[in-house]
Amino acid sequence: MSTAKRTVLSILASALLGPVAWADSYTIDGRHTFPVFEVSHYGFSTQRGRFTKVAGKLELDAAAKRASIDVVIETASVDMGLEVWSQQLRGEHFLRSDQHPQARFVARDFALDPERPAPVAGELTLLGVTRPLQFTVHRIQCAKHPVLPRQLCGADVEASFKRSDFGMSYGLPGIGDEIRLIIGIEALKDS
């Protein structure tokens, strides 16, 4: 078989087999992964909230220094520390949790830089709108879990976006447009 035919067959096989086969797959530990966000409140203070129900995957090829992250957030799990304020965020002016029960943060097949935080291209889906999102991975670190007999990986991810880009414009400009999103991820290796 000629080199050209082998190359074509290799390309076709790759296309049929789908995306990258990752060396290791990890499932996000919802007990230790809490996306936190910050927003200006009329310029007087920075309000912070978090989401308490999260799922997803971390795919990792340590040898190739590549990874993928997929985080699914239940919007009704928003917690502002005050139930009245949390309910308002779940409602029609902000997250519309009844219509949009999930937000999703995805970054596929990006390079890891163990020496310094690296900017990575990903996407955020919020209120049914998906937009590109530039984020920073501060680190991905893996080791044996200190209690469980499994491998654990952790990552710190950070991004900023304008909520109005996703159709959330209530309260502007008093309630800030810029949202800072910080996700501390812990994920357990799949068996």
User: What's the confidence (pLDDT) of residue 7?
Assistant: 34
User: What's the confidence (pLDDT) of residue 16?
Assistant: 37
pLDDT in tens, 5-59: 443 333 333 333 344 566 899 999 999 999 999 999 999 999 999 999 999 999 9
User: What's the confidence (pLDDT) of residue 2?
Assistant: 46
Closest CA to 179 of 47, 69, 73, 80: 47
Whether 136 shows a pLDDT value over 50: the answer reads yes
In this prediction the pTM is 0.84
Whether 3 shows a pLDDT value over 70: the answer reads no
Phi then psi dihedrals of residue 82, to 5 deg: -140, 115
Long-range contacts of range 115-123, CB-CB < 8 Å, 24 or more positions apart?
Answer: 122/69, 122/159
Instruction: Please tell us whether the domain made up of 20-189 is placed in CATH 2.40.128.110.
Output: yes
User: What's the confidence (pLDDT) of residue 21?
Assistant: 60
Task: Report the percent of the chain where pLDDT is more than 70.
Answer: 88
